[in-house]
């Protein structure tokens, strides 16, 4: 436990910035009391390595009769996945009222339909556990909001009231629904702030009591074995009428405060921010190495999808050249699909409007859907594409072909090759098609990529070598096992973009000790293409091999032919 003076020195500046009118010493004492007697064992293991990979899943994606879903998830991890996946992000596991978990009723409980805290802790024993801190808003059915409606505490002062006539035109919205919800309280009618939906009521972090509530939640998560804390929708946390109400200085200061507290009380715990916004905005959440340890590489998904649909690396390469290396002690979380759709805001300024429209039309032809957001002028724009990545890649903008699976595997291999840690959404790992019936049942576009699966049926398919699901699943795991043995794929290994023809997407990784190089070359098209190896500057004293095909490259200046959507990992170390 840190001494009180050290704690004050570490966090007092954050509190002065956030709560200038409050007694800061008293705030420090309150925070210290929340973490009193909490001691997390300090791990001597490095925070991450080339052996790290993340699985993103709902707690009840896999179902088995007579078994709690979290038990079934653990069985899948043990029986099918093994050590290839080091970390698991169990999407919101608390009781909820909407948005498939992101409208939390009680943060300190486990949804009984999933299991209990023991099930969560069991998964955390074998895998690094990641959990959502749904910090921007809470459910309208939560005790806090119900108390607010009744004029009681805790909750009476936990929400943001807006006076009639306030100018909210500058507020950045991720949804097209009305921003304000009108409610009756003991003090008369009020209008409360709802960034996402009228069932998700934004919390008022100007009140330090709200901060205390979430620090108590964080402590409970830590006690139950959570090692990665995901700050959901964090960019919208702080509101200031007359501004955009996104990425405000107070929001960044809150992230810095949480980072400081975790570094003090739970060293080794990873903080990751979820900010589905344009790339230059997303990068700010590294701060000065004092905010998030990890940020989602949100631009990768739409750019990679465009590259494979259009058969060109021009935008993907331009973006990669502009991406800074992650700061020391930080890294990227690379993903191509998640429980949400593929966000289009991170593609703003990177893919032209006509090209975005062409890509969206291709997705719609593949059975995909599109969600929109409302702009300040009242118009609407596509906010995200709703589709399973497997189905999104079953054709290109030119139409269907015979390369569905190679194209999909190429997408996953590029993702696992880039600087950072790869994250696989379970429905990508399992090559799940669109769930049109799910959308019809719920009325929500995101349900297209949230299908619940029978574990026995999935297990049988994975054991059937002729099934597409088995081919995708086992090939991804094979490539991940190869990846995990290469120091040049360490999350913070050097990365440089290579300048080849646009039908290729290529980059170079080099291990921290400079002993291993890997040239990652990907054919983005449905045609064979020749690669002149002299373009890669292969060192003459080394022997070079393609890790994926295990073919030796005897002639360093010769020519190799890449099949449609083939990836080569050309390395001097095997």
Q: Pairing between strand 87-90 and 54-57?
A: parallel
Cα-flanking dihedrals φ and ψ of residue 413, to 5°?
-75, -40
Structure tokens at 329: 């002690």
Contact 70, 119 (CB under 8 A): yes
Contact 262, 26 (CB under 8 A): no
Among residues 60, 199, 202, 232, which one is catalytic?
232
Instruction: Compute the 3-state secondary structure of the chain and give helix, strand, coil in percent, each to the nearest 5.
Output: 35, 20, 45
Q: Give the single-character DSSP code of 401.
A: -
| Residue whose entry in the numeric block shows the structure tokens 């429980």 | 339
Q: Give the single-character DSSP code of 77.
A: I
CA angle 41, 44, 49 (to 5 degrees): 125
Whether 391 is catalytic is no
Neighbours of 510 (CB within 10 A): 18
Q: Annotated binding residue at 99?
A: yes
Task: Name the H helices within 506-557.
Answer: none
Q: Annotated binding residue at 37?
A: no
β-partners of residue 87 are 54, 128
CA distance 337 to 346: 14
Q: Annotated binding residue at 231?
A: yes
Pairs from 314-322 (Cβ < 8 Å, separation ≥ 24): 314/502, 315/350, 315/351, 315/355, 316/505, 317/497, 317/499, 317/502, 317/505, 318/350, 319/279, 319/350, 320/418, 320/497, 320/507, 321/497
CA distances from 162 to 137, 141, 208 (A): 16, 20, 19
Give 50's contacts (C-beta < 8 A, 6+ positions apart).
483, 484, 485, 486, 487, 488, 489, 490, 491, 493
The gap between the terminal CA atoms of the chain, to the nearest Å, is 45
Range 4-21 burial, b when 16+ CB lie within 10 A, else e: eeebbebbeebbeebbee
Q: Annotated binding residue at 446?
A: yes
Nearest to 199 by CA among 137, 111, 154, 132: 137
Q: Annotated binding residue at 320?
A: no
CA distance 51 to 47: 11
Q: Annotated binding residue at 199?
A: no
Structure tokens at 481: 């096992």
Q: Pairing between strand 62-63 and 188-193?
A: unpaired
Which residues contribute to the annotated binding site for substrate? 99, 137, 230-232, 339-340, 446
**Which residues does the annotation mark as catalytic?**
232
């Amino acid at each position: 436990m840190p001494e009180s003076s050290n704690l004050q020195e570490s966090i007092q500046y954050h509190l002065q910035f956030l709560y200038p009118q409050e007694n800061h010493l008293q705030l420090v004492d309150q925070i210290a009391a929340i973490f009193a007697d909490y001691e997390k064992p300090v791990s001597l293991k490095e925070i991450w390595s080339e052996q790290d990979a993340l699985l993103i899943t709902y707690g009840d994606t896999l179902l088995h009769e007579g078994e709690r879903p979290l038990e079934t998830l653990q069985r899948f991890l043990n029986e099918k996945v093994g050590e290839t996946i080091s970390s698991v992000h169990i999407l919101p596991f608390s009781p909820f009222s909407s948005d498939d978990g992101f409208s939390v009723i009680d943060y300190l409980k486990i949804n009984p339909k999933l299991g209990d805290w023991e099930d969560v802790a069991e998964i955390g024993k074998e895998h690094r556990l990641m959990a959502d801190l749904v910090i921007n808003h809470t459910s309208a059915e939560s005790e806090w909001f119900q108390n607010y409606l009744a004029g009681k505490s805790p909750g009476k002062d936990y929400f943001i009231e807006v006076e009639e006539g306030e100018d909210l035109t500058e507020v950045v919205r991720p949804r097209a629904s009305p921003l304000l919800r009108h409610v009756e309280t003991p003090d008369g009618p009020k209008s409360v702030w709802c960034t996402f939906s009228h069932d998700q009521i934004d919390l008022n972090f100007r009140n330090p009591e709200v901060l205390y509530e979430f620090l108590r939640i964080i402590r409970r998560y830590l006690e139950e074995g959570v090692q990665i804390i995901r700050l959901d929708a964090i960019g919208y946390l702080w509101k200031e009428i007359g501004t955009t109400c996104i990425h405000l200085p107070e929001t960044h200061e809150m992230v810095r405060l949480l980072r400081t507290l975790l570094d003090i009380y739970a060293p080794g715990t990873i903080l990751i921010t979820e900010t589905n916004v344009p790339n230059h905005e997303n990068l700010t959440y590294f701060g000065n190495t004092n905010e998030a340890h990890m940020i989602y590489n949100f631009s990768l998904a739409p750019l990679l999808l465009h590259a494979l649909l259009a058969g060109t690396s021009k935008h993907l390469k331009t973006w990669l050249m502009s991406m800074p290396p992650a700061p020391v002690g930080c890294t990227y979380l690379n993903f191509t699909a998640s429980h949400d759709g593929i966000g289009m805001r991170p593609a703003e300024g990177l893919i032209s409007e006509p090209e975005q429209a062409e890509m969206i039309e291709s997705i719609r032809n593949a059975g995909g859907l599109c969600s929109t957001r409302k702009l300040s002028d009242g118009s609407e724009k596509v906010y995200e594409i709703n589709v399973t990545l497997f189905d999104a890649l079953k054709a290109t903008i030119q139409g269907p072909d015979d390369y569905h699976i190679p194209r999909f595997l190429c997408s996953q291999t590029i993702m696992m090759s880039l600087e950072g840690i790869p994250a696989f959404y379970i429905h990508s790992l399992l090559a799940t098609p669109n769930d049109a019936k799910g959308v019809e049942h719920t009325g929500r576009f995101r349900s297209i990529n949230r299908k619940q699966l029978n574990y026995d049926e999935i297990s049988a398919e994975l054991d059937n070598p002729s099934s597409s699901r088995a081919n995708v699943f086992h090939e991804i795991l094979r490539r991940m096992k190869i990846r995990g043995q290469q120091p040049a794929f360490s999350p913070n290994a050097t990365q440089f973009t290579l300048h080849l023809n646009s039908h290729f997407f290529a980059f170079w990784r080099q291990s921290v000790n400079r002993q291993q190089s890997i040239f990652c070359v990907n054919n983005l098209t449905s045609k064979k293409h020749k690669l002149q190896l002299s373009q890669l500057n292969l060192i003459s004293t080394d022997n070079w091999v393609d890790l994926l095909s295990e073919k030796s490259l005897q002639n360093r200046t010769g020519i190799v032919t890449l099949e449609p959507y083939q990836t080569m990992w050309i390395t001097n170390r095997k």
